[in-house]
Amino acid sequence: MLLVLNFLIKPFWIFGIDLEVHNLFVESYGTYFALFGFSMLFNICLDFGITTFNSRNIAQNHQQLTKYFSGIVVFKLLLAMLYFLISMGVGLLVGFNAEEFYMLFFLSINQFLISFIQYLRSNVAGLQLFTLDSLLSVLDKFLMIIFCSILLWSNLFKIKFELIHFVYAQTAAYGLTVFIVFLIVAAKSGQYRFNINKSFLLLILKQTYPYALLVLMMTFYYRLDGIMLKQMLPDGELQASIYAQAYRLMDASTQVGVLFAALLLPMFANMIKNNKKVDELVRLSFSLLFVPALVIAFFSYSFSQEIMAILYHANIAAAASVFKILMLCFAAIGITYILGTLLTANGSLKVLNMMALSGMILNFVLNIILIPTFKAEGSAYASLATQVLIVLAQILVAYRVFKFNINWKFLASLGVYIIAIYMLTLGVKIYVSEFYLQFILFILVSAILAVLLRVINLKKMYHILINREF
């Protein structure tokens, strides 16, 4: 249900609304992309690891919802004040002009609302109410589609559509979503009384700061690229826009991973608490995430020019060069969403923070070196190097912590599968001329090969999903 709802709603948002806005404001969208990334840099001040901590804790102790809900809501509001002070203050120091600062202010409001929605949904997921959480996961985007469609394609308000209106529509959608989800969680909580309890806040801070550090450093190495491109280059706005063109599809693809991670965290946490082996759930997650990610990455790399030409009206060749590199990142990120979530559920925050710190430093240094020469493409290479090293480290740590048995037969099948789909991309490119037929044929044959080579075990998957025995 989670996948169906998100595949129905989010692609229309990304390719129907967000893409339309990008094509309407080709160069200035680069400023929006950079400011959006900047607004995310400090959103750890909004959350401080509370969402991850809360999801894990509520999954293991459902009765804690009433106690935690009252205190954390107040804490989130206090953190919001800190976030706005830092975000606006650093924005002034960076030297954003008045128009950019105004947009940043509303983007910062949006970050607060997103953070609040994520916290509220962590309670729903922690209670194992996955059907309800699936519905709530698309509510904000559904509302945005409605609001933006009215602004883009109707003359209801009799105004010329500007980029800032796109931001306003997001603010309205997030605000309404917060209101709805808050009412749901308040009802599930039963009794609640909002107050400032200093001892409780200190307890939460002590327990959540490792999560906060992890999110902060991961945000930096995920979002630095667009900001550094805009600030370091004379044509920074254009380069950030080109990077955004390529980044859009990669970001859209990773949303499936984000959804899985939100579900996997309470599942892993509950299984670890009850001393259940997580091997089968890891294997299932790997089949559902990494294998499709691999297929999409191979196709995107081979047909980057054609894909960018379909989506955009300008800077197609430059965006295609960046896109093929970023989509290789997507394959690595697919594994990260599984193993990173598993290690988080296990409480292995120290080692995760060491990885994130290393990734942040590496990404920053590589961007400094590569951007002046290779521009947007240099940022893409920096991201790829960072993601590959992070995922290799996570594989090693997860293997040592959980003492997984190495399934050599599965690894051999996976190796054969990788070679097979690589050959398939070459064959489709040579022998089939129509792009949409190339895409359909590639996806269909890749899926059949995955089943035949038992990279995806349908019988085992059916047993796990139906019986819910991992």
For 265-287, write each residue's pLDDT tens digit. 778 888 888 888 888 888 888 88
Task: Say what the pTM is.
Answer: 0.75
Instruction: Count CA atoms closer than 13 A to 426's CA, side-chain side.
Output: 5
Residue keyed to tokens 């390529």: 246
Average pLDDT over residues 28-34: 89
Q: Residue 197 — very low, low, confident or very high, per pLDDT cuts 50/70/90?
A: low
* Alpha carbons 55 and 260: distance in angstroms, whole number: 14
Cβ(286)–Cβ(365) under 8 Å? Answer: no
Q: Report whether 398 contacts 340 (CB < 8 A).
A: no
Rounded-to-integer distance, Cα 70 and Cα 200, Å: 10
Across 71-80, 236-245, 392-401, least confident range: 71-80
Distance CA 66, CA 40 (A): 30
- Please compute the mean of the pLDDT values over residues 388-403 and round it to a whole number: 91
Does 67 score more than 80 pLDDT?
no
Pick the range with the lowest mean pLDDT from 231-245, 274-288, 319-333, 378-392: 274-288
For residues 427-439, give the mean pLDDT: 91
pLDDT digits (tens, 9 = 90+) for 84-143: 999 999 988 888 889 999 999 999 999 999 999 988 888 887 777 777 888 888 899 999
Is it the case that residue 469 has pLDDT exceeding 60? no
Q: What percent of the chain has pLDDT over 70?
A: 92
- Helix, strand or coil, per DSSP, at residue 156: coil
For tokens 């947009």, the residue is 103
Phi then psi for residue 33, to 5 deg, are -60, -45
Residues 57, 64: Cα–Cα separation, whole Å:
8
SS3 407: coil
Residue 196's contacts (CB-CB under 8 Å, 6 or more residues apart) are: 74, 78
Cα-based angle 376, 377, 379 (whole degrees, multiple of 5)? 65
Integer angstrom CA distances of residue 414 from 48, 106, 290, 425, 450: 38, 46, 11, 17, 9
Measured distance CA(175)–CA(309) in Å, rounded: 35
Tokens of residue 300, six digits: 């995107």
